[in-house]
Structure 1
Amino acid sequence: MVNKQAIDVVVPSFRLNEALLLNIIQLNKPAAFEVNTYIVADNPAAVIPEKLKALHREGRIHLLINEVNLGFSGTRNKGIRAGHGKWILLLDDDIVPQPDLLEAYAAAISGDENALGYAGVTFFPEPVNAATRALELNGSVGHFKMALHKPEIIWAPTTNMMINREKLLDGLFDTNLKAGGEDVDFFVRHWLHFRETYKSVPDARVTHPWHDNGAMQTNRMFRYGIAASQLSHKEPEKNYTYRDFTNTLETLLLLLIAAPLAWFTGHMALWLCLLVIVPLAEFLTNWFRAVSTGRTYSPAVAFHLMWVKNCWEAGYLYDVLFAGRLNGFAKRIDMGFVKQHPSPFRTNRWKIVKLIILLVLVVIAVCAVGNSSL
């Protein structure tokens, strides 16, 4: 039976960092609510800190240990099903919450007890290097802070989100989405089913550290690209996909396929020029972006902007090719989910800048190849 005056705090954890988890366990408790904390250890081989064991024995937390690794989706599902509170607060295990986090959510609930859910704000520290500056500039951390700028949202990462148990769909988080994107899928499905958005709670704040102490996020962005490709073929997200111009990696793949034709027609010199021009135009576009939006002339930031973008696109292309989703080539998903069946071949200022740079470089290359053949 659902306890309407209870909040279940669900924290999946692989690391079981005692200090970080205690920050969550010791949050101020709102007077009108019963609070139950579920720590779900997704690491069967983990050494459980003695303090957590003691808190579990005392009944102050519920410590659940997976017998096998279930991943983010399965672990969150286990924590959700273990509780009975009407409100479920999903937190990551490496965030540092403001002490009044639960009180901020409780105040929001008092204003609307039938909401689909509530979105908190997740801050990241100031950038510490070129890699983190690039993540900030390209919008990778933008959705974490969306609740700070919009009164209602349709999805956000699960670092700091509250959901209504009375409005949960069967299946919860999709355990088939192992590369990521399970949070997008979960919140979007519920938004579309109930035709309700998640209400923002700007005062419900946590801070998330830079992943791997600010290191380059090659694997993470590659996985996110795979996840986006998987979402683009899944209901209901596939209704928000469209055809687009080929990106840098897709264009390079087409050039490689066209290599024999270039050889037989005697255009290998131009082909080699194009092989250099395409990634060069990508880098110059990102450098222009770093200068115009980031107010930095750093080539390192431009490189990291290009790297993050192309790692994501590499993951997307990898899934298209190796998962047999060939109809996903040059297919995009609108992660803003603005409208179903968006128009194809959409442009933005960065695509226009890149096209101009490409045209200029191609003209130069054609002239250079032509002069060399004289």
Structure 2
Amino acid sequence: MLFNRLIPVFAAAVQALPQPASASCRDIQIPITVSTPRFILATSLKDDWDAAALSLNLTRRDFSKASDPLPISGSTAAAVKSTYTVGATLCGNGGPTLVLTHGIIESKLYWRPNFPGSEKYNFVDAAIAQGYSVLSYDRIGVGSSPKVNSFTDAQFQVEVAVLEGLVNYAKTKAHASKVALVGHSYGSYISSAAATHVAVDGLVLTGFSGTFDYFPPFIAGAGFRIAKLQNPARWGQLDSGYITSSDLYAETYVYYAAPYFEHSVAEWTYNVASEPFAVGELPSLLATNVSYSDIKAPVLVLQGQFDVSACGGNCVGVVNGTKDIFTGAKVLEYVDNLPAGHNLNFHKVAPQAFQKIFKFLKAQGV
């Protein structure tokens, strides 16, 4: 259709459009210093043949076993210190504050889309209307944050430390009286891990079931490609360790569920909002043991029923397993049957999903 043909031409211009008018939103740069050991990746990515080989290793039936083929040969002997200037948007002036972490093949536009008619998909504006301040950010390597080394910097434990630094920023610089973490997909794992280390008042997880059993369909379905080769105009400056999906329909398979979304929304996310992810991210996540039982904050797991990567395409009977991992949480609630796929915010049910989040948080005093 014409809309689909025009989007690639105007993608850069659309990204530069002002965001929807909201109460006192401003783009900021936040220096965050982290010190954490790094995994040593035993792989190289130069072309799409290498991306296909990596996909095989991450989809083998033994990928999550003790002898798994994860491309990791060890870790650094000591913590590595780095400072990243994180690109973020801060809306509001303190009080109860939501810190938002997006998933892979995404940017912070996931929380605040800017296409015409995007109002009902705009989580940030919905949260502001409920009286919250909101801090959303681009993960390192993505969007307005620095383009870091895809092997050594963009690793799960580093990104957890970055989020912990952002929580501290919200509390000390942004006048947050209470902080709730809201994560999506990979961002849900980052948020969960951060909540084991820093005190927060609430934890909301979407695109998440607490198990990696259903990662292989996501990895195989996405059809990993080297981003700089896939789209040189957008991503030619990235190193070859940044990966994206093979095309619009592969991305639709892993992130959407028919008939519960508009095709034009999926086209916009693919052509404008999608961002590559780093090769270091998934192996380092899979190699990390998140101590979910240490989380004391109230937890809400909110799921589209037809989520491929979280539940293998049907979350009913899967998400209830979260009660076995969040054993220390003050409260645990879960929803497993919203009419949506993985990208919950971009399905027609988004406004109702947002209200469930706000109702849960307010019930917990956030």
Q: Structures share a fold, TM > 0.5?
A: no
More strand per residue: 2
The structure showing larger relative contact order (alpha-carbon pairs under 8 Å, at least 6 residues apart) is 2
Q: Which structure carries more helix by proportion?
A: 1
